[in-house]
Amino acid sequence: MPRMEVAGVLRSLFVANLLLGTSAASMAQEVLPDGQSITPTAAPGAVFSSLNPGLADYPDFTAGQAVTSTLSPDGTTLLVLTSGFNRNFDANGKLIARDSNEYVFVFEISSGTPVQKQVIQVPNTYSGIAFAPDGAHFYVSSGKDDSVHTYTQKNGNWAESGSPIALGHARGNGFPQGPNSVLPAAAGLAVTADGKTIVVANYENDAISLVSTATNAKTAELDLRPGKNDPSKAGVAGGEFPYWVTIKGNDVAYVSSVRDREIVVIDLQGASPVVVARIPMSGNPNRMVLDKAESRLYVSLDNSDAVAVIDTRRNRVINTVKTAAPAGLLTSMTPGASPNSLAFSPDGRTLYVTNGGTNSVALLSVLADGALRVDGLIPTGWYPNSVSVSADGKMLYVVNSKSNTGPNPAHCRAIAPADHNFAAGCPPANQNGSDNQYTLQLTKAGLLTLPVPTPSQLGELTRKVATNNGFNLKLTPADHALLQTLRKEVRHVIYIVKENRTYDQMFGDLPAGNGDPNLTQFPEAVTPNQHALAKQFVQLDNFYDPSNVSYEGWQWSTAARSVDATEKTYSVNYARRGLSYDSEGTDRNINVAYPTVAARQEANPATPSDPDLLPGPSNEEDIDGPGRRKQGATHAARRKADDDDATEEEEGEGYLWDAAIRARLGVRNYGFHCDLTRYSLDPPAGGIPPIENPFATRTRVAFPAHKALMNRTDPYFRGFDDRLPDLFSLSR
């Protein structure tokens, strides 16, 4: 979320403490783990609802991870799609397939108020859902199942028509086989104005598929990478991780390339689709919307926290506007708003944009010549993903992906000695997952319905969003004094991450901290070394962040925020619904920190020889630094930088080590952001087995996965590998 800058991680701690001291004004206000507050019902007339699919086995189950909403052409039906975890287990800890699907919630909204009419179960999804122009059909992309589902109305209900339309991908681009290969992922899709063609973004295949609605079959495929269309451009990055599709009429498709920060423009008129332009973006483009005249394309940009306006006649950016707040409200604009969806009012005069990172919807006035003005903000639930506007322009519908989890006492593991007090409260029946209290099962989605605010209401709501997010918080004199002392006394910072453990699990038994010994699974008798470190150096007993799992936790631990691509991916990945684990530097398990195929193969001999496989050091889930970016610069130009110097663009340079490097401080890395792929392989396949003392034999076991760490990483200190005995680490 946007915050004033202060050196180091301590700033986040101060902000969290200051915000956590704010008491809730009503039941409508809820404090999040990072200190933000959410007030989804702050707007007059707002109603916030959970999404209950009506499972017979679990009638109280509500879905998580709502990602997309879409309105029928006649404005009477609202569809809400989930793409996330949504798994349930029986008393034996076995997955119940019939209760572990994704969902399309069908709402009747003729009166303005949503009335749930139907819930459709889909085995797997990834963000894509769209109505046909005639409203008689809608389509859903199936994520890892690599297909498109078609639904039609029968007797007043929607039902799947025929079998899913196969897109024909055996796996995604990356390693061709083995444990490090990735599955395909059908993502965003759109339908031509005549309803004859569906264009699907293949997120893990760097391609689009064209599907005929007449034959329900794929008719064409286009690889979006420059080198696959023009051999002279082999090794040039472009078109990778395509996420969203928007179509102008019947002739032109626009596809957002999240990794390569560009919009790929595709001519659909000929016998085969052809790339006709690539439009550089200042951030990671996710979703797009055309105005009614189709002369302007509006693109939400993560990392740069902006909306770009594209002139569709010239295929060039004509304006870029920050969406975090109206002009003057934020005196220091730091990254983290994460705009991720857009929708127009029926008259085209207002553009609504969801800011996932600040839990708000921004209202932008659409002015002449592509100009935009942020007029205000509306509070939402936690991490809004999509906004839709009623046909009369009077109502807004906003879906969000997550919630506070609350306690999960039944989801436990009695790891501590049997005589420890924790084990008594953790019977064996609770240790197989049958409780359905895993953190991602407790993370719930919501649907916010509200009338469009009046100008006076919007001013008050904007101030509420500012309060919720701590805009312009200032350090107290005591904070400044503490920082001054720390800067004077501290010469070295050793940052150790103990993954997948809460403070109470490890240190609840420490008398000096804000802990609960009843929750301690690893007391001092079990973890004497870690307790000694806490006692001798520092005890971060009130340091909070909002991550649920390791995937986005590593971003919060190393960059103090996550990006939209991560937010859309981690729950899908953890549900084993596909998508690669890309938040720790590698892309589809390819170590992109190495600039050439030869260098990558030296680090991992199994790396394919294809020069068009993820060229360059970019990662679609990288965190940007605070530097300026040049709109319109090519991707290659934006990446040109000296590892040891601060750059203007600072693309992908928003991590702790980058901040230290900018401050001209020394950095040494042990195990962070390293390529882990070889640890899972047998030695004949290039695997690196656990070695007690790799330094003694000069056996390299660590290959950094971030370019800034390339010459700052101990090559003999192994990255994360739970096969490595602690005794080996001790001897190292």
The model's pLDDT over 484-525, given as tens digits with 9 standing for 90+, comes to 999 999 999 999 888 888 899 899 999 988 999 988 888 999
Whole-Å CA distances, 481 to 188, 475, 484, 485, 488:
50, 10, 5, 6, 11
Determine the Cα–Cα distance for residues 361 and 396; give it in Å rounded to an integer: 10
| Region 277-299 average pLDDT | 98
- Average pLDDT over the chain, rounded to an integer: 90
Bridge pairing between strands 47-49 and 446-451: antiparallel
Per the CB < 8 A criterion, the answer to whether 72 and 135 are in contact is: yes
Per the CB < 8 A criterion, the answer to whether 573 and 580 are in contact is: yes
Say what the alpha-carbon torsion angle 460, 465, 471, 473 is, to the nearest 10 degrees: 80
Determine the Cα–Cα distance for residues 711 and 30; give it in Å rounded to an integer: 44
643 has a pLDDT exceeding 80: no
pTM for the full predicted model: 0.92
Provide the 8-state DSSP code for 639: H
Best CA proximity match to 274, nearest among 218, 243, 230 = 230
Supply the pLDDT for residue 399: 99
422 has a pLDDT exceeding 60: no
Helix (H, G, I), strand (E, B) or coil at 107: strand
Whole-Å CA distances, 585 to 240, 437, 580, 644:
16, 30, 11, 19
Categorise residue 112: left if φ over 0, alpha if ψ from -120 to 50, beta otherwise.
left
Best CA proximity match to 411, nearest among 451, 373, 378, 439 = 439
Tens-digit pLDDT profile for residues 79-103 = 999 999 999 999 888 999 999 999 9
110 is written with which tokens?
Answer: 């003729």
Q: Averaging pLDDT over each range in 7-21, 26-40, 446-460, 633-647, which range is the top one? A: 446-460
Best CA proximity match to 501, nearest among 478, 531, 461 = 531
Best CA proximity match to 404, nearest among 21, 19, 85, 35 = 35
Bridge pairing between strands 197-202 and 207-212: antiparallel
Residue 20: φ, ψ to 5°: -65, -15
Whole-Å CA distances, 204 to 182, 199, 516, 548:
8, 15, 44, 24
CATH superfamily of 10-45+57-404+413-469: YVTN repeat-like/Quinoprotein amine dehydrogenase (2.130.10.10)
Burial of 437 (0-12, 13-18, 19+ CB in 10 A): middle
Q: Which long-range contacts (CB under 8 A, 24 or more apart) does 482-491 make?
A: 482/10, 483/6, 483/7, 483/10, 486/10, 487/7
Least confident of 30-44, 283-297, 403-417, 513-527: 403-417
Distinct helix (H) and strand (E) counts, the chain = 14, 31
Q: Between 477-489 and 10-20, two packed helices, what is the crossing angle to 10 degrees?
A: 160
Tens-digit pLDDT profile for residues 112-135 = 999 999 999 999 999 999 999 999
Per the CB < 8 A criterion, the answer to whether 214 and 239 are in contact is: no
Whole-Å CA distances, 685 to 23, 445, 530:
57, 43, 36
Give CA 369 to chain center in angstroms.
32
Break the chain into its structural domains and give their ranges: 10-45+57-404+413-469
Per the CB < 8 A criterion, the answer to whether 178 and 169 are in contact is: no
Determine the Cα–Cα distance for residues 473 and 476; give it in Å rounded to an integer: 9
User: How many CB atoms within 10 Å of residue 568?
Assistant: 27
Determine the Cα–Cα distance for residues 86 and 62; give it in Å rounded to an integer: 9
| Region 30-46 average pLDDT | 96
386 is written with which tokens?
Answer: 């999509």
Reported confidence tier of residue 240, pLDDT bands at 50, 70, 90: very high
Bridge pairing between strands 165-166 and 147-154: antiparallel
Per the CB < 8 A criterion, the answer to whether 50 and 94 are in contact is: no
358 is written with which tokens?
Answer: 């600040």
Per the CB < 8 A criterion, the answer to whether 297 and 310 are in contact is: yes
Supply the pLDDT for residue 644: 35
Element (H, E) at 412: none
Give CA 117 to chain center in angstroms.
30
Supply the pLDDT for residue 556: 94
Least confident of 290-299, 376-385, 405-414: 405-414
Provide the 8-state DSSP code for 205: T
Supply the pLDDT for residue 136: 96
User: How many CB atoms within 10 Å of residue 116?
Assistant: 17
Burial of 79 (0-12, 13-18, 19+ CB in 10 A): buried
Tens-digit pLDDT profile for residues 557-595 = 999 999 999 999 999 999 999 999 999 999 999 999 999
26 has a pLDDT exceeding 80: no
Extended beta strands in 371-511, E state: 372-379, 382-389, 395-402, 446-451
Tens-digit pLDDT profile for residues 429-480 = 666 778 899 999 999 999 999 999 999 999 999 999 999 999 988 889 999 9
Supply the pLDDT for residue 628: 52
Per the CB < 8 A criterion, the answer to whether 399 and 70 are in contact is: no
Per the CB < 8 A criterion, the answer to whether 719 and 685 are in contact is: no
User: How many CB atoms within 10 Å of residue 89?
Assistant: 18
Burial of 564 (0-12, 13-18, 19+ CB in 10 A): buried
Provide the 8-state DSSP code for 57: S
Determine the Cα–Cα distance for residues 151 and 164; give it in Å rounded to an integer: 10
Residue 665: φ, ψ to 5°: -100, 155
Q: How far apart are the first and last CA of the chain?
A: 39
| Region 41-55 average pLDDT | 98
154 is written with which tokens?
Answer: 């029968």
Provide the 8-state DSSP code for 342: E
Per the CB < 8 A criterion, the answer to whether 30 and 380 are in contact is: no
Provide the 8-state DSSP code for 670: S
